[in-house]
Amino acid sequence: MKNIYLDNAATTPILPEVITTITESMTHSYGNPSSIHQIGRKAKSLVETARKNIAKHFNASANEIVFTAGGSEADNLILRNAVTNLGVTTIISSKIEHHAVLHTIKNLEKEFNIVLNWVELDEFGTVNYSHIETLLQKDTSKKLVSLMHINNEIGNLLDIKKVSKLCCDNDALFHSDAVQVVGHYEIDVNETPIDFFAASAHKFHGPKGVGFAYIKKGYGIYPMLHGGKQERGARAGTENVHSILGMEKALEIAYLNLEEDTKYIQNIKSYFINELQHNFEGIIFNGCSESETKSSYTILNVRFPKEYAMLLFNLDLKGIAVSGGSACQSGSNKGSHVLNAILHENEQFKTSVRFSFSKLNTIKEIDYVIKNLKEIL
């Protein structure tokens, strides 16, 4: 049986070069970066060099990068600090954000009685930018806008420059979950003055359990985890040295080959779209995922014309790994909160599948998927 992995929005395979970097670090750079002896200082130097190199990819300063255990922790750290430390009393967001944002802001609402305002969405999941402006001008409260740059289920691209300008013009803070963006698109924090964003290494062929928060210079951060003074006091706990170095290596490779990889993956996605349309009647693409300009080249969300209750199971039996919505809610029978927010209730029962691609996929794999879809359906 073949193994065809088309669930790269959930996680990506670790590149061999990254595994080598991690292994070498675990073997030779095992010191605690807080220790003052040579072995500890070596580990500290490697972590700080990684911080500088990661920051350079975004035209940021090293002290604006805080290492975390992943994107979810980064989102939590940023959003909680916005309320507890920076005086935010109103958060503007959308109902199709990742649960790392949705659950966090809903808990902040309960805990601190902040105001939550939801941005209007159309049937494709596109935010209403005029409504963002209206909400920003609604009152004089201190506001933060939290909107993800790329939606992890339907691939929609946010016009991040437009939102950034709206926030600047209205003296609001701007946070974006950029987990699906980092390593796949360029981000320049000087060109697009975003205040905060979150990233996770395992979305760009790095290790799981490590990521970072970008926090614009000048915003003090209180830790959620208390203990030592690691990460300049922003996050207690001994640094995950080998994973940080693995993330640095994965990001270096991602941006070194970005243009070539983007074209290659977009070609695979376009080919898959054409094959689906040619072989199946009634196929619909959720959100803007069919578009080359409004959607990420890595994500395609397909709605089939009726319910196929065992489709994911049968694809798995053929060695094809895909996702029904978001992998973060696998095992849930509630369906995708993203699709439930944008689809008419008559469409919600139909089977939707998220296919997500990487540079490790091939056209031959797509042919294999089409062949098996035809047999199953």
Give the tens place of pLDDT for each residue, 136-156: 999 999 999 999 999 999 999
pLDDT tens for 112-123 read 999 999 999 999
Assess if CATH 3.40.640.10 describes domain 16-256.
yes
Mean pLDDT along residues 311-325 = 92
pLDDT in tens, 228-257: 999 988 999 999 999 999 999 999 999 999
For domain 4-12+258-376, give its CATH number from 2.130.10.10, 3.30.2090.10, 3.90.1150.10, 3.30.460.80.
3.90.1150.10
Please list, in sequence order, all residues whose beta carbon lies within 8 angstroms of the beta carbon of residue 64, skipping any fewer than 6 positions away: 55, 189, 214, 215, 216, 217
pTM: 0.94
User: What is the band of 1 on the pLDDT scale with cuts at 50, 70, 90?
Assistant: low
Show me where the domains of the chain are located. Answer: 4-12+258-376, 16-256
Is 328 part of the annotated catalytic residue set? yes
> Cβ neighbours of residue 134 under 8 Å, at least 6 residues apart?
none
Catalytic residue among 167, 168, 288, 328: 328
132 neighbors 166 (Cβ within 8 angstroms): yes
42-96 pLDDT per residue, tens: 999 999 999 999 999 999 999 999 999 999 999 999 999 999 999 999 999 999 9
